[in-house]
């Protein structure tokens, strides 16, 4: 087989593929199918702006009027939630710490964060194969219609589960921020000051547990056994644990797009109130019909 000389001149274009054609002496010649420079230039992604969000500066729906087809997110140790709302300031906020990229038809975005440490870089890109993909709940970060998008909902250590919890007792929370009333929970993670055995109990409304079984709103539960399966980093600090691969259908029957959850302490030791007993729970979920 003979290599077509055009293959040696790739500097003027790109190869989409090749075909085999007969040569003058009966040999087979590999002939490239080429893209011209204009087509390559029109279809390649282009980085046109980099924005650094310093967490030392607090923001409340600060508008960034920059269009993009893709935003690559680089988290540089941001210590506080940094929420982005794409296109309209009334849309569902997404914590940038939980995303690596956003894709779709983006023409502006809004940023909200409390003061903290660290920073987040946003690399704004235009062009490429992502042009024209609508920014919807099924394509943002997913890359195509029908591909489920994974969302996260995170509690705050100074808001939810701040009370002392005795053995087998619970602390209840109505956690706002679901993208819909009907979701499918796929994972749960916990960060805890104390190495305790916890159970998360899911309820379908803010009535939570009730002595009347016709009124009780219980739906499901997940155990987070830190003494048995939790870990620390460097042998000190917070305790961590996650449970993935869940397939838990959940519906907020109150219609408020909240997750109604009780944290139960299964350990003999009590959970401490406030500092020293802080807990953060992260829920991973998908929207469902």
What are the tens digits of pLDDT across the range 113-163? 999 999 999 989 887 544 333 344 433 444 343 445 678 889 999 999 999
The ranges of the chain with pLDDT < 70 are 1-45, 128-149
| Structure letter (DSSP) for residue 240 | E
Q: In what order do the strands lie in the sheet with 119-126?
A: 46-54, 119-126, 68-76, 101-106
Look at residues 132, 149, 166 and tell me which one is the last residue of a structural domain.
149
Burial of 250 (0-12, 13-18, 19+ CB in 10 A): buried
Distance CA 262, CA 205 (A): 11
| pLDDT confidence of residue 210 | 92
Look at residues 107, 128, 149 and tell me which one is the last residue of a structural domain.
149
| pLDDT confidence of residue 10 | 40
| pLDDT confidence of residue 150 | 75
| pLDDT confidence of residue 41 | 55
Shared-domain flag, residues 249 and 263? yes
Residue 38, domain member (yes or no) = no
Q: Which domain holds residue 100?
A: 46-149
Number of domains making up the chain: 2
User: DSSP letter string over 41-79?
Assistant: HHHS-EEEEEEEEETTS-EEEEEE---EEEEEEEEE---
| pLDDT confidence of residue 25 | 67
């Amino acid at each position: 087989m003979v290599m077509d000389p055009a293959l040696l001149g790739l500097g003027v274009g790109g190869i989409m593929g090749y075909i085999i054609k007969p040569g003058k002496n009966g040999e087979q010649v590999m002939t490239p199918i080429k893209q011209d420079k204009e087509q390559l230039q029109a279809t390649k992604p282009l980085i046109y702006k980099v924005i650094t969000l310093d967490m030392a500066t607090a923001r409340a729906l600060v508008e960034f009027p920059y269009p993009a087809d893709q935003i690559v997110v680089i988290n540089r140790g941001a210590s506080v939630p940094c929420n982005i709302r794409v296109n309209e300031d009334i849309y569902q906020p997404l914590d940038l710490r939980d995303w690596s990229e956003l894709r779709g038809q983006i023409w502006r975005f809004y940023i909200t964060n409390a003061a903290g440490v660290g920073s987040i870089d946003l690399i704004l890109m235009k062009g490429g194969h992502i042009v024209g993909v609508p920014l919807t709940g099924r394509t943002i970060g997913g890359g195509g219609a029908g591909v489920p998008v994974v969302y996260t909902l995170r509690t705050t250590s100074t808001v939810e589960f701040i009370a002392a919890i005795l053995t087998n007792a619970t602390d209840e929370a109505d956690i706002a921020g679901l993208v819909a009333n009907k979701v499918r929970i796929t994972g749960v993670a916990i960060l805890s000051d104390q190495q305790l055995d916890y159970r998360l109990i899911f309820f379908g409304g803010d009535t939570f547990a009730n002595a009347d079984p016709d009124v009780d709103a219980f739906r499901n539960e997940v155990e987070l056994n830190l003494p048995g399966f939790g870990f620390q980093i460097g042998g000190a600090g917070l305790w961590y644990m996650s449970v993935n691969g869940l397939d838990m259908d959940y519906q907020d029957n109150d219609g408020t797009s909240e997750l109604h959850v009780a944290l139960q302490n299964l350990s003999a030791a009590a959970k401490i109130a406030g500092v020293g007993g802080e807990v953060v729970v992260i829920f991973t979920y998908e929207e469902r019909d």
